[in-house]
A and B are shown apart, each in its own frame.
Chain A
């Protein structure tokens, strides 16, 4: 198996879909002009293998593992197995003592202060070669890598950075930049520019050190083991309930196209009758240009009825982080549907349609919903039964025979009366009722979860904890 095929296999194990055709394209992309330069090779492989920008992060970290500094190998021969084996042999039994050789001259007897000083000078002067050497040196001196330990390297990075006193170095760089160039006559702006520049420089250094640590770990433990330790879920597999801030941000970006798909799916259900009735007047008129032959019949445009969606979202504490995602989804949906009414509930329920004014920042809308909307009734613990009965009492006109009802929540009602008869009534009136549950299916119906009672009256109850599951739901609608 050649290196590219091996790399493709690893990508697939990450959950990135790579078809056979794409793999062939990647092999064809190994044109001699692209092999001399590691960056060009990376871009060529990315262009042929990665078709979704959210997969790029995973691709890059795997590329670094598979095509580390040894990329020059590729230019000699078309990544033969022998070369690869050779590398493996050379790499085995490596330990930190060998790396002092890698660090080049100037290692050995330097003190911590001297290294930091040299780093500072190299960063200020943007000397790439010296930076590379110094990054290697810092790792040799401070990371204290222990061979054979199955760790991802974050700890070594932390240890190296702490020894370099990275925050102090960043502040020093910032001040130096400030002194060096007084760009504008505005102190605030100068300060800001210098901070940005310094942060960028330090980020660059961190990346170099990270690359170096990773390289040594690969030499120690091999590619596959390293790929496994670095494995992070792809965006579509991230558990929404546990997403970090950055992941949440990326998720939000991914929701918009999905909501558009959902909108077109719900609309499509009535568009199947592709052509409307024959439009006689227009057909005759058109035929005049052709001497009265009815050569081209004109049809009326089919009437596309706008999908009518009613959304009920649980915003209680037990689904707090999911609630944020829910609101994002509601926000994205309301830009796609003209007839959407959204309601939020905990134990009380309130209509939140008007909060999603598209001109304002979504975060502001969420803040207003949390502070202004009347979704709390007694104690702020979910009470699905009460929320539902209030819903039909206050807005009896909301659900019509044309509505699709989407309920988002974990159906944990704190042992209150579930009032299933109300959902039954809603389900009878509406076209569809879908329930999206952010809880793992294994936990359903345990404790105060009453999924089962409600599910009788839903067209479908689905576990939606990741973007992929949400996509599956949207695809199913067709």
Chain B
């Protein structure tokens, strides 16, 4: 098992991520840095649209690693997440044996060893991440969607970076992957899972970071308009809303305003385009009401 570190320092994390247009915060860089040093998975939680999945993708891009993604859903099982035997190929192998040799040259024992070898194994994302020769980033997306019983399936790989296959033995990682799990907190994750991970809560960014992010994604935005967008979104996030605007929504809004050829905001323009930021009618009403009565 090789144990080289991917990042030199927290600053190195920040700069590398910035190189692929991901603007991080001290919280984020520290967690990524620790994940690399302590070789522990990172459990990322936070509101939707704050760049949880994006972080894993960016780390992969910044380090030139391969990204292996396991999208979780209700009903995900071992055969989809870890590995599966390739029954069809095994059967063909047995039949071919019968045709060629009439079972004289090879004993059953040999055949058994043969068909339960790695050649007949279909690797699924988790197994693939640890058997890969190159550096990988494993993203286990929306882990809160799988049932609490299925979580157990992840535990071995998260704590020991290995997968046990009864017929083959234990496969250990050739190179430790960087592992990220994301959760929308739709249910409480088990203690066992949380204990094995570093915890990172990505909240809505502060205004300066958000402006930086928008600037990266929408490079041709005017500075004055960017300032106004930043302040406007900050105002709205302080309100008591059902769903606060996410970063991706403020990026969309910035794009919308540019497309419409707008240079400065006013209430009328904001009212016309606010549906890009807020997705519930009740939220739109609340926001517009609060913005108009503030003198």
- A residues neighboring B (CB under 8 Å): 17, 19, 21-22, 25, 28-29, 31, 33-34, 37, 39-40, 43-44, 46-48, 50-53, 56, 183-189, 191-193, 195-197, 249, 256-258, 260-261, 264, 289-291, 293, 295-296, 359-361, 364
Contacts and interface: CB of A to CB of B under 8 A. Distances in A.
Given A34-B33, A188-B267, A25 B295 contact: no
A191 B295 contact: yes
Nearest to B87: A295
B292 A188 contact: yes
B195 A189 contact: no
Contact of B27 (A43, A193, A197, A264): A43
Given A40-B30, A52-B194, A291-B91, 12 more contacts: A43-B30, A189-B228, A189-B265, A189-B266, A192-B235, A196-B231, A257-B186, A264-B148, A290-B91, A295-B91, A296-B87, A361-B286
B266 A185 contact: yes
27 contacts: A21-B195, A25-B38, A29-B37, A29-B38, A31-B34, A33-B9, A33-B10, A33-B33, A34-B10, A40-B26, A47-B34, A47-B198, A50-B199, A53-B45, A184-B264, A184-B265, A185-B266, A186-B267, A188-B267, A188-B291, A189-B265, A189-B267, A192-B235, A196-B235, A256-B186, A257-B185, A290-B91
A121 B63 CA distance: 44
B255 to A, nearest CB: 19
Interface in B37-64: 37-38, 40, 42-43, 45
Interface in B97-133: none
A43 B195 contact: no
Contacts of A29: 34, 37-38
B295 A47 contact: no
Contact of A261 (B188, B227, B228, B266): B188
A48 B194 CA distance: 10
B147 interface: yes
Contacts of A289: 88
Contact of B187 (A22, A260, A364): A260
Nearest to B185: A257
Contact of A28 (B26, B38, B195): B38
B3 interface: no
Q: Please give me the 3 A-B residue pairs with the lowest Cβ-Cβ distance, nearest first.
A: A186-B266, A43-B30, A51-B194
**Interface residues of B, dominant DSSP:** helix
A195 B294 contact: yes
Contacts of B43: 51
Interface in B243-295: 264-267, 270, 280-283, 286, 291-292, 294-295
Contact of B234 (A189, A196, A260, A359): A196
A183 B230 CA distance: 12
Contacts of A28: 38
B44 to A, nearest CB: 11
B87 A290 contact: yes
Given A47-B34, A50-B199, A197 B194 contact: no
A22 B192 CA distance: 12
B182 interface: no
